């Protein structure tokens, strides 16, 4: 066990041999840290938190009581192979959240980026890749192999089907089941997940110019009502618009995926 001298560890905490505890860490009462865990500088375990498996927790991340971070995947194909979990810096992992390691067949790693807020009861399944500044409200469930882009917001009690990709800056309304890929900056709501527009509030908050938002709205209208197949319309986006955000949507749609796409509500 490697513990830097500035770490504060409650006497009731259990730290296994082999764990690496960085400087300025705080490990609260009755928390458990496994033998292959690395806590980077300033990590805080409030109390009754479990961090186990081959897991790396980034600087200044805070984990609240009864969270389980780094346990084995909930996958019947998992046979004990050595896989890992990586959590970025300054994340907030709230009470009862569960984050699992990867599987050999899925790439071997589950990854959460920097500055994420995972509220009470959030689940991050095996081999999921979560970007930076992602917010997941209470009891969101992310299934295995999902890719969640930067700046995504997912409302409470929502579920994301395995292998689904959610593009950067999208927002998912509460109590929504998402079974297909979501374009960057999309607005999805309704129980079975309907693509109902763009995340205009999020775009404005990130300082996207009015001119680019106008192009995005026109591009979305083309996706909904343009001629040809959805794939054909996506190809034309890059030809007809020069806005960076529109090109990002086009590239996202045209890239490989294991799931089909949510098409705009009312699309032809």
Our CA angle for 128, 168, 118, nearest 5°, is: 50
Q: Give whole-number Cα distances, 13 to 96, 185, 189, 240, in Å.
A: 18, 43, 43, 60
Question: How many CB atoms lie under 10 A from the CB of residue 213?
Answer: 17
> Is residue 107 annotated as a catalytic residue, yes or no?
no
What pLDDT is recorded for position 263? Answer: 84
Tell me the torsion sign for CA atoms 248, 253, 255, 260. positive
CA pair distance 42, 65, nearest whole angstrom: 17
Q: What is this structure's pTM?
A: 0.95
Cα diameter, the chain: 67
CA pair distance 13, 63, nearest whole angstrom: 14
Catalytic, out of 22, 123, 126, 173: 126
Catalytic, out of 22, 58, 88, 144: 144
Going residue by residue through the chain (268 aa), what tens digit of pLDDT does each one get? 566 668 999 999 999 999 999 999 999 999 999 999 999 999 999 999 999 999 999 999 999 999 999 999 999 999 999 999 999 999 999 999 999 999 999 999 999 999 999 999 999 999 999 999 999 999 999 999 999 999 999 999 999 999 999 999 999 999 999 999 999 999 999 999 999 999 999 999 999 999 999 999 999 999 988 888 888 999 999 889 989 999 999 999 999 777 888 888 877 6
Question: How many CB atoms lie under 10 A from the CB of residue 75?
Answer: 17
Q: Which residue carries 């469930």 as its tokens?
A: 141
CA pair distance 151, 153, nearest whole angstrom: 7
What pLDDT is recorded for position 230? Answer: 86
> Is residue 48 annotated as a catalytic residue, yes or no?
no
Tell me the torsion sign for CA atoms 15, 104, 137, 200. positive
What pLDDT is recorded for position 1? Answer: 56
φ/ψ (deg, to 5) at 205: -65, -30
What pLDDT is recorded for position 174? Answer: 98
What pLDDT is recorded for position 101? Answer: 98
DSSP element (H, E) containing 175: none
Per-residue exposure over 168-188, b if at least 16 CB sit within 10 Å of its own CB, e if not: bbbbbbeebebebbbbbbbbb
According to DSSP, the β-strands at 165-166 and 135-136 are unpaired
> Is residue 149 annotated as a catalytic residue, yes or no?
no
Catalytic, out of 56, 114, 115, 127: 127
What pLDDT is recorded for position 83? Answer: 98
Q: Give whole-number Cα distances, 225 to 76, 102, 222, 232, 263, in Å.
A: 43, 40, 5, 12, 10
> Is 141:116 a contact under the CB 8 Å cutoff?
no
DSSP element (H, E) containing 225: helix 210-225
Q: Which residue carries 């991340």 as its tokens?
A: 61
What pLDDT is recorded for position 4? Answer: 65
């Amino acid at each position: 066990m490697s513990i830097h001298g500035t770490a504060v560890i409650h006497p009731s905490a259990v730290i296994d041999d082999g764990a690496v505890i960085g400087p300025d860490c705080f490990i609260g009462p009755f928390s458990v840290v496994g033998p292959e865990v690395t806590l980077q500088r300033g990590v805080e375990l409030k109390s009754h938190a479990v961090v186990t498996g081959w897991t790396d927790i980034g600087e200044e991340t805070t984990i609240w009581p009864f969270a389980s971070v780094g346990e084995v995947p909930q996958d019947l194909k998992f046979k004990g192979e050595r896989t890992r979990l990586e959590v970025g810096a300054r994340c907030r992992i709230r009470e009862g959240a569960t984050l699992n390691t990867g599987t050999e067949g899925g790439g071997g790693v589950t990854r959460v980026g920097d500055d994420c807020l995972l509220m009470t009861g959030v689940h991050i399944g095996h081999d999921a890749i979560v970007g930076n500044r992602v917010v997941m409200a209470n009891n969101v469930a992310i299934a295995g192999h999902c890719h969640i882009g930067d700046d995504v917001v997912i409302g409470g009690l929502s579920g994301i089907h395995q292998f689904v990709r959610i593009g950067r800056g999208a927002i998912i309304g509460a109590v929504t089941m998402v079974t297909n890929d979501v374009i960057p900056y999309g607005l999805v709501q309704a129980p079975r997940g309907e693509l109902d527009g763009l995340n205009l509030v999020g775009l404005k908050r990130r300082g996207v110019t009015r001119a680019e938002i106008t192009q995005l709205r026109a591009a979305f209208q083309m996706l909904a009502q343009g001629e040809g197949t959805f794939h054909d319309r996506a190809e034309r986006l890059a030809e007809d618009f020069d806005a960076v955000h529109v090109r990002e949507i086009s590239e996202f749609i045209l890239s490989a995926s294991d799931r089909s796409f949510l098409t705009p509500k009312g699309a032809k």
